[in-house]
Structure 1
Amino acid sequence: MNYIQQVFKVKHDFWRYIVGSIIVIIASGIGQIPFTLAALFKAMKSGGSVFEMSESDLMTILEPNLNLFLLLLSFGFALVALFIVVKYLHQQTIKELTTARKKIDFIRILFAFFFWGIISSGMVLLDYYAAPEDYVWNFELKRFLILAVIAILFIPIQTSTEEYVFRGYLMQGFGALAKNRWFPLVLTSLIFGGMHVFNPEVSKLGYTVMVYYIGTGFFLGIITLMDEGMELALGFHAANNLFGALLVSADWTVLQTHSILKDVSDPGIGFYDIVLPVFIIFPIFILIFAKVYKWKNWNQKLFGKIEEPVKENYKILD
């Protein structure tokens, strides 16, 4: 039984996915209360108003490490809520939400994590040595160590939340609704990209950067469908955000951190921002993963129908 098809074993009425999504959104909102209160207190103390601030100002009003911790905290609330929804509203296990394999393959997660972590770090270092004028040394040991603790503990929670919501919960929900594989791939990728529309990067670089976010959604969705599980997407996404937060930040990005380097170049959309990752690196990664894990039946796995199993083969939960 494949990754989406196994959802027919549990309670999969689409109204449950609507209710479940609302619960997760509410939980995320509750998790944002500490950040909102801290920002309000800081604004009042400085004689300003948080309601008059731009989004970029709001993202930098607090000390960067505290800011990062409070921003990531809401993802923990959302992930706990999602797991509760899956268990009690759908009567589904976390394993079934994660993979079609007999158990979650942590080796796959680690492979994708270190593979992309090493390559992405190498690309940052190459760019630093190729254009050192675009960077300033930002390393402060004490602040970096605090950042490292926060990032290592909470960024995987943030990325896992996004993966479990989009490549897990909604991928299976839309798949059960449409009974095909292309519809959930397209819809979850568009929603995932659209979720980033309020990031400071979009206001700074323009809507063209949405090609990167939507393209990333397609890449993560493709490897999930082809591999019949989320493990590779979990590892890749965690590495992307974690190594990025530790290595380099910029004044116009959503995550302001005490990273080792700070990018001070004029922001702009170019070959290295969209074309290289979306149209070159991601396809190469798909081919590498396909070779390593011997993916076959591409047309069926990406565009095929999803047949509901014969009811005699499993117990229907009313």
Structure 2
Amino acid sequence: MYIEQALVGNNRWWRVLLTTLATAGIFIINFITYLLMPKEAVDASYDVMKSWPSSIALLVNLIPFVILLALLFTMVYTLHQRNILSLTTTRKQVDFKRIGFSLALVMGLNLASFAFSYACDSSTISWNFHPIPFLVLCLISIMLFPFQIGFEEFLFRGYLMQQIGILAKNKWVPLLITSVVFGVFHSANPEVAKMGFGVMFFYIGTGFLLGIMTLMDDGLELALGFHLGNNLIAALLVTSDFSALHTDALFKLSGKVPPSESLQEMVISMVVLYPIILLTFAKKYQWHHWKSKLFGTLNKTTRINHD
């Protein structure tokens, strides 16, 4: 019933278009600019970003998401005449235990995977700990990453999945579209330029995972926890010269590592860890009726409000 919750709002086409352009515009502009800019100009912009202190670069990248999340909430509440809870979950209140469990599971699995890789071969990973910069990184990450991942989840798995679902009158179309678009909008990240477009398989696969979580659990809580845990690990644990954000993480991946090898590790990690995560959630939260929840049609008994 997660998608159906949008049916109680005001879904006139111009309201949906305005909200989408106002909130997703940053991704659209970024993607179009990336496609139109010459490779030399793209590389130069990445080099400029790398020349900034890492904490400043992180702040510049994350602060806009605070504004965008507030804008999305405001437009859903005022234009669509819906409360934010309907954008978040089918439960009577947000289940913060679900968010915490998902965050802990993802961070634990990623730490275990890193520890295994480090034990097998640490030649390409160097210790990068500097107390003050790392403390600053922790503070920025804890304060601002919730807004960044919150905006992406509320936009893609929340607003867009619900609105596309209303239009398509089923659940598999919004799952497919939001997952692919989520991946495509990350194509301007510097690691794509270094590793090749094969890394899009990872982004789109992650989009599918988050979408499946949302539909099966009838809420964003698990997706929010996963996304936050994943981004915190990415920022705090290991950095590299070709990552989306170069941070003062605990470890640094050596430049000797071929990008293709890093891509292979990402894909293997996804193929191994993602099924474990889904099965864990399915068992803990008693997920049933997979076919109807992922491929079923909408319940049309809910009334739609119009002008």
Superposed pair shares fold, TM > 0.5: yes
Q: TM-score normalized by structure 1?
A: 0.88
Assess if the C-alpha contact under 8 Å between 1:4 and 1:176 holds in 2: yes
| Distance of aligned partners of 1:124 and 1:295 in 2 relative to their CA distance in 1, 3 Å threshold | same
**CA offset at residue 90 of structure 1?**
0.5
Q: Which residue of 2 aligns with 1:23?
A: 22
Aligned residue among 269, 276, 280 for 2:269 = 276
Structure 2: distance between partners of 1:275 and 1:122: 14
Aligned residue among 105, 108, 118 for 1:128 = 118
- Verify: 1:302 aligned to 2:291, yes or no: no
- Verify: 1:292 aligned to 2:281, yes or no: no
Q: Which residue of 1 aligns with 2:164?
A: 174
Q: Which residue of 1 aligns with 2:35?
A: none
| Distance of aligned partners of 1:302 and 1:52 in 2 relative to their CA distance in 1, 3 Å threshold | closer
Q: Which residue of 1 aligns with 2:103?
A: 113
5+ residue gaps, structure 1, are 31-49
Q: Helix, strand or coil: the match of 1:54?
A: helix
Higher relative contact order (CA 8 A, sep 6+): 2
- Verify: 1:245 aligned to 2:238, yes or no: no
| Distance of aligned partners of 1:128 and 1:110 in 2 relative to their CA distance in 1, 3 Å threshold | same
**CA offset at residue 275 of structure 1?**
3.3
Q: How does 1:133-148 map to 2 (within 5 A)?
A: 133-148=123-138
Structure 2: distance between partners of 1:109 and 1:80: 20
| Distance of aligned partners of 1:52 and 1:222 in 2 relative to their CA distance in 1, 3 Å threshold | closer
Structure 1: distance between partners of 2:274 and 2:217: 15
Q: Helix, strand or coil: the match of 2:260?
A: coil
AA aligned to 1:267 is: P
Q: Which residue of 1 aligns with 2:8?
A: 9
Structure 2: distance between partners of 1:304 and 1:223: 15
Q: Which residue of 1 aligns with 2:305?
A: 316
Assess if the C-alpha contact under 8 Å between 1:12 and 1:176 holds in 2: no
Structure 1: distance between partners of 2:274 and 2:27: 30
- Does 302-311 or 66-75 show the bigger shift? 302-311
The alignment's C-alpha RMSD in Å is 2.0
- Does 148-157 or 11-20 show the bigger shift? 11-20
**CA offset at residue 284 of structure 1?**
2.1
Kindly tell me the number of residue pairs found equivalent between the two proteins: 294
Assess if the C-alpha contact under 8 Å between 1:27 and 1:81 holds in 2: no
Structure 1: distance between partners of 2:302 and 2:62: 43
Structure 2: distance between partners of 1:209 and 1:188: 17
Structure 2: distance between partners of 1:242 and 1:68: 12
What is the identity percentage for the equivalent residue pairs of Structure 1 and Structure 2? 40
AA aligned to 2:260 is: G
Structure 2: distance between partners of 1:14 and 1:176: 11
Q: Which residue of 2 aligns with 1:259?
A: 249
Q: Which residue of 1 aligns with 2:90?
A: 100
Structure 2: distance between partners of 1:208 and 1:123: 21
**CA offset at residue 78 of structure 1?**
0.9
Structure 2: distance between partners of 1:29 and 1:258: 29
Aligned residue among 179, 182, 188 for 1:198 = 188
5+ residue gaps, structure 2, are 30-39
Structure 1: distance between partners of 2:302 and 2:259: 55
AA aligned to 2:187 is: V
**CA offset at residue 317 of structure 1?**
5.4
Q: TM-score normalized by structure 2?
A: 0.91
Structure 2: distance between partners of 1:317 and 1:271: 49
Structure 1: distance between partners of 2:13 and 2:214: 21
Per-residue deviation, residues 24-76 of structure 1 (Å, max 9, x unmatched): 1457899xxxxxxxxxxxxxxxxxxx968524313312100111011111111
